[in-house]
Chains A and B, each alone.
Chain A
Amino acid sequence: SQQGEEDPQALSIQEGENATMNCSYKTSINNLQWYRQNSGRGLVHLILIRSNEREKHSGRLRVTLDTSKKSSSLLITASRAADTASYFCATDAWGQNFVFGPGTRLSVLP
């Protein structure tokens, strides 16, 4: 079973626009993380938000967390072609297991 699910599955935007991706999960969590993956490569950690936090920023990234709705969003502002990648949310679901969603494919067009 998948704990996190991203929405949309794919997103195309123009350079300079903002990109918003959403993640929903099913069970209570301690933390939620976002990762980026360039085509076929290893994932790179972007940001971790704890369950008692509502918003977190890192450079052009803004992550929000709504535990009442069991959802999170990742906003990338002023997108660049280099932001083209797949983005995954991941949660600690139960025990010491760690679960990724299926990801959102972002294409930033020049």
Chain B
Amino acid sequence: EAQVTQNPRYLITVTGKKLTVTCSQNMNHEYMSWYRQDPGLGLRQIYYSMNVEVTDKGDVPEGYKVSRKEKRNFPLILESPSPNQTSLYFCASSLSFAGNNEQFFGPGTRLTVL
């Protein structure tokens, strides 16, 4: 089944404790992206990747890191999480640039930073 998976689905952590949210897709998509969703703000793009080893900042990259060492994986790293990073996070992938193609979304990761 074609899908985007994220782990964990729920995470409660404390300020400053490094964490990684994994994202994997099995559709051989080139474009992958991370979004955060906050009430009243819709989805905001954090980082995106056009292909392996190519990543770029979205609208709200501060406090986040990503890497794209393999085509299928695009982990989101929070080196020192803070309470303002409490949010619902989505990973998405598309065949190529998202503007031209349907994006497939993962189920989301609900992160709480205390």
Asked if B41 and A97 sit within 8 Å, CB to CB, the answer is: no
Asked if B102 and A102 sit within 8 Å, CB to CB, the answer is: no
Interface centre among A33, A44, A88, A97 (most CB of B within 10 A): A97
- The stretch from A14-22, A35-43, A60-68, A76-84 touching chain B is A35-43
Asked if A96 and B105 sit within 8 Å, CB to CB, the answer is: no
Q: For A1, what are the chain B residues with a Cβ–Cβ distance below 8 Å?
A: 59
Given contacts A97-B48, A98-B45, A102-B42, contact A92 B103 (CB under 8 A): no
Picked from A31, A43, A97, A103, the residue with its CB within 8 Å of the CB of B90 is: A43
Picked from A30, A88, A99, A101, the residue with its CB within 8 Å of the CB of B59 is: A99
Asked if A96 and B50 sit within 8 Å, CB to CB, the answer is: yes
Binary per-residue interface labels of chain B (3-34) against chain A in the complex, 1 for a CB within 8 Å, 0 otherwise: 01000000000000000000000000000010
Interface size class of A (residues with CB under 8 A): 20 to 34
Q: For B44, what are the chain A residues with a Cβ–Cβ distance below 8 Å?
A: 100
A11 within 8 A of B: no
Q: For A40, what are the chain B residues with a Cβ–Cβ distance below 8 Å?
A: 88, 108, 110
Whole-angstrom CA separation of A52 from B101 in the bound complex: 16
Asked if B42 and A100 sit within 8 Å, CB to CB, the answer is: yes
Given contacts A31-B100, A45-B103, A102-B40, contact A96 B48 (CB under 8 A): yes
Asked if B100 and A98 sit within 8 Å, CB to CB, the answer is: no
Asked if B100 and A43 sit within 8 Å, CB to CB, the answer is: no
Asked if B42 and A92 sit within 8 Å, CB to CB, the answer is: no
21 A–B contacts, CB within 8 A, in A order:
A2-B42, A31-B99, A41-B107, A42-B106, A42-B107, A44-B105, A45-B103, A48-B102, A88-B42, A91-B99, A92-B97, A92-B99, A96-B48, A96-B56, A97-B58, A97-B59, A98-B99, A98-B103, A99-B59, A100-B42, A103-B42
A contact set with B: CB distance below 8 Å: 1-2, 29-31, 33, 35, 40-45, 48, 88, 90-92, 95-103
